Amino acid sequence: MNPLLPPGPADLKELTSRCIDRSYDSLYNLTTSLPNTASEERRGVALKQLQDTHAVFKKLLVLTRWSVQSPLADKCAELLQEAQTFQDQANETNDRLYFLHRDLDRAKERQYDLTTAIDVLYGGTYTRLPRVINYAMHPREFPPVDEEASIAELDAVLRFRLIEETIPDKFTHIDVHEGFVTAGASGEFEMVFTVDGTKPDSLWLVASVQTVLTDPVAQATFKHLASTSSLRIIQSNAPTDVHYMQLKILIQKRLNQSATPLLDACNIMSDFCCSLALRILHAQGQLLVDTRWPHGVSFLHQDHNDAATLDIVYWTDATAPYV
Q: Sorting pLDDT into bands at 50, 70 and 90, what band is 102?
A: confident
What is the total residue count of the chain?
A: 323
- Tell me what the mean pLDDT of segment 212-217 comes to: 79
Over residues 202-213, mean pLDDT: 87
Helix, strand or coil for residue 61? helix
Please state whether the predicted TM-score (pTM) of the whole model is above 0.85: no
> Does residue 310 register a pLDDT over 60?
no
Listed residue (251, 134, 144, 241) closest to 192, CA to CA: 251
Residues pairing with 312 in the sheet: 299
Question: Rg of the chain's alpha carbons, rounded to an integer?
Answer: 49
Q: How far apart are CA 63 and CA 162, in angstroms?
A: 93
Beta strands in 63-213 (DSSP E): 173-177, 180-185, 189-195, 204-211
pLDDT, tens only, 108-136: 766 667 777 777 777 777 777 777 877 77
